[in-house]
Amino acid sequence: MWEYILIFLLSATPWVEILFVIPPAIAAGLPPLAVAVVAFIGNFLPILGIVYLYEKWEQWRDAGRKQKGFQQNVPNSSSQGSRRRKLGRKIWEKYGLPGLALLAPIVTGVHLAAIIALLTKTSRSSILFWMFWSLLLWTGILTAGTHYGLDFLGLTF
């Protein structure tokens, strides 16, 4: 049971996510399907939270700015931020939400990708749709690749 709690928590951790959780868990001898389900849920639940809480945070932030008399000033994400954020923005500009969502697990991480998509004022339903299917695809690829790769190498447990 503790293994699955750890898989869940690590999958929910930004930049650890499914990419670094599924292969070691399967290599440790845990059932691939169970690992995939727990890792997927652990990675997708924070995205739900990010997407639904972002609007509340934005309203709270704007109310505080108005109360203090600040003008709404949105920073230019191409000149500020981390290397991952800049890379995510570049992918967004070239491929849009589908490209960002599909590349997120290996490039920026799905949590940051969801935030980047929210900053572009994309609809919440579109973000959740693309992130869900991207995570499902990557979970399947990682699970099958690890399981059959270990089997091919004769390292099954």
**Domain boundaries along the sequence of the chain:** 2-68+78-152
Q: What angle do CA 80, 123, 14 make, to 5 degrees?
A: 50
Which residues 6+ apart lie within 8 Å of 89 measured at CB?
Answer: 77, 78, 81, 116
Query: What's the whole-model pTM score?
Result: 0.79
Residue 5 or 81, more confident: 5
Residue 155 or 33, more confident: 33
Q: Residue 83, CB half-sphere, CA atoms under 13 Å: how many?
A: 1
The 10s digit of each residue's pLDDT in 55-110 is 888 788 777 777 777 665 555 544 556 787 787 778 877 888 999 899 988 888 89
pLDDT at 5 over 60: yes
